[in-house]
A = this chain, B = another copy of it.
Amino acid sequence: MASDIVLLAAVSVLSACQQAYFANLVGKSRIKHKVIPPAVSGHPEFERTFRAQQNCIEFYAMFLVDLWAAGWFFNQELASLIGLLYIYGRHLYFYGYVQSVKGRLKGFSVCKMALILLLVMSVTGITNSLLDKYVHLNLLTKIRHVVLG
């Protein structure tokens, strides 16, 4: 069992570290621009840094759901790879947004693409599992049999 989800867990823990790192950078930006809590507005660079982190948080649970559904019901290795792509996209997004408002766009596109891929895999895998459970039809296994002879 544990080996079936270890890559998903590794990617999840890596992404959690990234979130902690972003939170830390917001704290540093607070000190740099003298924005005293609980204030969340002040210097434009701080505001961009804060919104960048907030946006990462807004999508984080969504990402985890899609990652695990794709990995569990479709393919763990592929889902984990796309999970890494998402983490890379978030890296681009965060640092781009800190630089400028337009700077966030490239990273956001990467994240969006990764989320769409994970979603397609999730829906395919879950649909297959539902068909298997309720009408005893496992399409993915059939396709694999046909393809591999």
Contacts and interface: CB of A to CB of B under 8 A. Distances in A.
A107 to B, nearest CB: 13
A13 B66 contact: yes
Q: Interface size for chain A: under 10, 10 to 19, 20 to 34, or 35 or more residues?
A: 35 or more
A137 interface: no
A81 B64 CA distance: 22
A70 B9 CA distance: 10
Interface in A29-76: 36-40, 44, 47-48, 50-53, 57-62, 64-66, 68-69, 72-73
Q: How many copies does the complex hold?
A: 3
The 9 closest A-B pairs by CB, nearest first: A38-B51, A6-B129, A16-B65, A3-B133, A16-B62, A38-B47, A12-B65, A9-B69, A13-B122
Interface of A: 1-3, 5-7, 9-10, 12-13, 15-17, 19-20, 23, 36-40, 44, 47-48, 50-53, 57-62, 64-66, 68-69, 72-73, 97, 101, 104, 115, 119, 122-123, 126, 129-130, 132-133
